Amino acid sequence: MFVVSSEGSKALAARVAQIIGAELVDVEKKVFPDGEIYVRALSSFSDEVVVIGNTYPNDSLIELLLLKDLASESADVITVIPYYGYARQDRRFLDGECIAAKAMASILEINSKRIITVDLHKDYIKQYFKVTVENLIPFKEIADVCRDADIVISPDAGSFYLAEGVAEELGVDAAHFDKKRISATEVVSTFDEDVRGKKVLLVDDIISTGTTIEKACSALKDAERIEVACVHGLFLKSLNFSPVHASDTIPSRFSDYTVSKLIADSLLKLKNL
Ligand code: R5P
């Protein structure tokens, strides 16, 4: 097996390659004055290639498509998408909208024998692909960096799967905020349980601007302590809460746990089939 990755996923790819004992193929990448991207593999590959790359930012998606096309000329491709951007537009909320998660699937399945993702936001996005998708969720990895919690809470029902999974690893309770409609245009998230004296672990799949978590933290201000963990940390604004844990699907200064073993284990399972 060979591993090749887009620039933004290099560190994660190196970790995965090391665990599975695969050769990491170096890539030369250039961006032309008009923004077009050039990639060149600096050694050859054959048989089976694991191509790792995010769909965020948009340029990374192009890089991933170029690498997949290149790899598919001489090998079978397993595509690993640590952060599947565009997942939040997972269905049509308003007439006329493009279901971006579906559009991405139709592009990404090209030249892929199989796809591995990390926390897809909604598991049913898998159905948008014609190839098999394995969606890995780092419950244990999050629990391992946040061992000291009395309750795990998600800021909405949509990410309750994450709170439930992490809570199960920790052997504590899980709960979620409820969205309540105040008027035709206003929705507020509420949490009615008493958290006084409790150590809360607040989990979400994505932290983008941080607004969702910030609001949840304010509502939970009576807790003894609040710790925050996410899978994909975009961190587009400065944060008003800490401590924050994030995975290395999108490298940042908050990335303090890795999903490399999760991905490597899934690849090793395929190797042994
Ligand atoms: C929403 O469905 C996601 O699970 C996150 O809650 C959301 O993307 C977080 O965004 P932000 O950090 O901008 O509030």
Using a 6 Å cutoff on CB, does residue 207 contact ligand 1?
yes
The dihedral sign for the CA sequence 248, 156, 125, 87: negative
> How high is the pLDDT of residue 273?
61
Least confident window among 33-42, 166-175, 182-191, 252-261 = 182-191
- CA atoms within 13 Å, Cβ hemisphere of 88: 9
Using a 6 Å cutoff on CB, does residue 154 contact ligand 1?
no
Q: Give the distance (Å) from ligand 1 centre to CA of residue 91.
A: 16
**pLDDT of 186 higher than 90:** no
Q: Could you identify the residue written with the tokens 């490298």?
A: 251
Question: What predicted TM-score, i.e. pTM, was given to this entire model?
Answer: 0.95
Residue of 88, 162, 204, 232 to test ligand 1 pocket, by largest number of atoms within 8 Å of CB: 204
Average pLDDT over residues 13-42: 98
* Contact yes or no for 179/187 (Cβ under 8 A): yes
3-state secondary structure 187-212: EEEECCCCCECCEEEEEEEEECCCHH
Q: How far apart are CA 172 and CA 125, in angstroms?
A: 29
Q: Give the distance (Å) from ligand 1 centre to CA of residue 213.
A: 8
Q: Give the distance (Å) from ligand 1 centre to CA of residue 238.
A: 15
Q: How far apart are CA 62 and CA 53, in angstroms?
A: 10
- CA atoms within 13 Å, Cβ hemisphere of 7: 14
Query: Do the bridges between strand 255-257 and strand 244-247 make them parallel or antiparallel, or are there none, so unpaired?
Result: parallel
Rg of the chain on CA atoms, in Å: 20
Residue 106 corresponds to which tokens in the numbers above? 């139709």
Q: How far apart are CA 235 and CA 250, in angstroms?
A: 10
The CA dihedral of 126, 130, 131, 133, to the nearest 10 degrees, is: 0
In the chain, the domains with their CATH numbers are 2-137+259-271 (3.40.50.2020), 139-245 (3.40.50.2020)
* Contact yes or no for 90/122 (Cβ under 8 A): yes
Instruction: Name which of 45, 129, 41, 48 is nearest 81 in CA terms.
Output: 129
Report the amino acid identity of residue 180: K
Q: What tens digit of pLDDT does each residue of 112-147 get?
A: 999 999 999 999 999 999 999 999 999 999 999 998
Using a 6 Å cutoff on CB, does residue 244 contact ligand 1?
no
Q: What tens digit of pLDDT does each residue of 202-255 get?
A: 999 999 999 999 999 999 999 999 999 999 999 999 999 899 999 999 999 999
* Contact yes or no for 62/37 (Cβ under 8 A): yes
Average pLDDT over residues 152-165: 97
Using a 6 Å cutoff on CB, does residue 204 contact ligand 1?
yes
